Homo-oligomer: A and B are copies of this chain.
């Protein structure tokens, strides 16, 4: 029941209205792995780091069932570094620094030991690299989930559309869904995007929750109303990790099970934002996750008699 995840493992420096960090651990694949490994192991990681990525972090991931055979370590270069500053509303941010470093040379290679994985999470990454991973797999996974972002729509839309044809689920935010489809209405945008390839589309709306579209069906998962969002970095990746982790655990890729998976993704994301970086994800237990899931049930549960 292996899950392959592809994405960045990196350093971030983050400034929010609540505080500021020096370089801390980040990267899309890091967050996906911390979230997904609560539900399924092994998580088979494909990424690239420099000489400066800490061994303790690798050990921590390994101890959670994350296999790092697919993580290339470049001995003479630094890891990818991103620095950003969130605005007061926490929904928007400015990028201060992007040092590609090792990422400039990333050419993901799927280790032989990862062949046969049934689930594939393509974290936010250059579309050509996402496609390369798909093409290296000898057996098509049962489910391919793809995350992407507006940056790739700006500079590599054609490549992105090639990947779209090969994936089952696409994850984007509302602005990206509008950009990709050219439609303002999310319902219309969803229809157009599903025509591009993915049978399922998840539109993330941050503090406003997430929508799952499939054929003519739609499901809405709220975000938990939080007293404070401390640091939103990685929340989307954590959501993705919880989502695909649950699907891989249950081996059920029906629309109904995806509803549950989205609630689980939302619950994991709600932990992520409580502290800087993946710190909170390292602390939580299965009991914490269960308690959070119960809050979600309370949040949206209602009885209705028709009029």
A97 CB within 8 Å of chain B:
no
A286/B307 contact (C-beta < 8 A), A186-B225, A209-B222, A222-B209 known:
yes
Q: How far is the CB of A269 from chain B (nearest CB, A)?
A: 15
Instruction: State A222–B39 Cα separation when bound (angstroms).
Output: 28
A220 CB within 8 Å of chain B:
yes
Contact with B along A192-229 (1 / 0, CB 8 A): 00000000000001001101000001111110011111
A299 CB within 8 Å of chain B:
yes
Q: Which residues on the B side are within 8 Å of A209 (C-beta)?
A: 208-209, 220, 222
A38 CB within 8 Å of chain B:
yes
Contact with B along A59-91 (1 / 0, CB 8 A): 000000000000000000000000000001100
- Asked if residues A185 and B307 are in contact (CB atoms below 8 Å), the reply is no
* Most chain B C-beta atoms within 10 Å of own C-beta, residue among A208, A217, A264, A303: A208
- Asked if residues B211 and A263 are in contact (CB atoms below 8 Å), the reply is no
A104 CB within 8 Å of chain B:
no
* Most chain B C-beta atoms within 10 Å of own C-beta, residue among A220, A263, A301: A220
- Asked if residues A220 and B222 are in contact (CB atoms below 8 Å), the reply is yes
A259 CB within 8 Å of chain B:
yes
A294/B306 contact (C-beta < 8 A), A184-B89, A225-B218 known:
yes
Q: Which residues on the B side are within 8 Å of A136 (C-beta)?
A: none
> How many A residues touch B, CB cutoff 8 Å?
46
- Asked if residues A297 and B293 are in contact (CB atoms below 8 Å), the reply is no
A225 partner, pick from B220, B227, B301, beta carbons under 8 A: B220
Instruction: State A259–B286 Cα separation when bound (angstroms).
Output: 29
- Asked if residues B300 and A219 are in contact (CB atoms below 8 Å), the reply is yes
- Asked if residues A293 and B298 are in contact (CB atoms below 8 Å), the reply is no
A304 CB within 8 Å of chain B:
yes
Contact with B along A136-179 (1 / 0, CB 8 A): 00000000000000000000000000000000000000000000
Instruction: State A306–B291 Cα separation when bound (angstroms).
Output: 9
Binding site for B on A (CB under 8 A): 38-39, 88-89, 184-188, 205, 208-209, 211, 217-222, 225-229, 256, 259-260, 263-264, 286, 289-290, 293-294, 296-307
11 more A-B contacts (CB under 8 A) besides A260-B302, A286-B307?
A39-B307, A88-B184, A185-B227, A185-B228, A187-B225, A205-B208, A208-B209, A209-B209, A217-B298, A219-B298, A256-B303
Task: List the 10 closest A-B pairs by CB distance, nearest first.
Answer: A208-B208, A290-B306, A259-B302, A220-B222, A187-B227, A300-B300, A220-B299, A187-B225, A289-B307, A260-B304
